[in-house]
Structure formats: structure tokens, C-alpha cells
């Protein structure tokens, strides 16, 4: 579900990012300390939650849409996997 606004507090933002992360296929069932730090880094870089959400969905769909004859990918083990999909140069949102 795409949110229209970014959560305003760091705690709410991090919780929303981590919730989205663990609900995606091929991700761990719970987030670890490094995932929490990665989510906080996204907040500190002023990346709006809808941008993070869209990037995570895009990266997940790319993985799931691979041809079946390609070698299988390993499971996603960290929120950091999605960071390259969020390019700060492409984000037009202002800080919160």
C-alpha cells in the first residue's frame, strides 16, 4: 500500500520501513540491528517513505520476475539490499 505522506518522527519512519521490509517475499521474518540502522540512514538522508516503498517493491518485483531458467538468487538478508534502488539524485522530495 503506497502511503501519501512520510511518517514524521524517526521512530515511526523506521518502524514503517522495517514493517514493509519484513512483509516482502524473500526477506527475513524479522529485522535486525543493521536493518534498523539502514532504515535510520534513509530517514537521515530525507528519503520520503513513498520513495523507499516504491523502490523496495520495484526491486522485489525484479527479483520475482526473473526468468525461471536463470540460476536462483539467494534470499535477501538485509535492508541494505534495497539501498541502491533508492538513488538520492532521483528523489525530488524535500526533507521532512
Q: What is the pLDDT of residue 59?
A: 93
| pLDDT for res 58 | 93
Domain ranges of the chain: 10-88
pLDDT at 7: 78
pTM above 0.85? no
Whole-angstrom Cα distance, residue 9 to residue 70? 42
Burial 22-53 (b: 16+ CB within 10 A, else e): eebeebeeebeeebeebbeebbeeebbbebbb
- pLDDT means per 10 residues in the chain (96 residues)? 66 96 95 97 92 94 93 92 76 51
Amino acid at each position: 500500500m503506497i502511503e501519501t505522506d512520510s511518517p514524521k518522527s524517526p521512530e515511526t519512519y523506521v518502524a514503517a520501513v522495517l514493517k514493509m521490509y519484513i512483509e516482502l517475499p524473500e526477506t527475513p521474518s524479522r529485522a535486525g540491528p543493521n536493518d534498523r540502522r539502514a532504515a535510520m540512514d534513509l530517514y537521515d538522508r530525507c528519503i520520503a517513505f513513498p520513495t523507499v516503498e516504491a523502490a523496495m517493491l520495484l526491486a522485489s518485483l525484479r527479483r520475482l520476475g526473473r526468468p525461471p531458467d536463470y540460476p536462483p538468487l539467494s534470499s535477501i538478508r538485509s535492508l541494505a539490499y534495497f539501498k541502491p534502488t533508492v538513488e538520492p539524485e532521483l528523489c525530488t522530495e524535500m526533507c521532512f
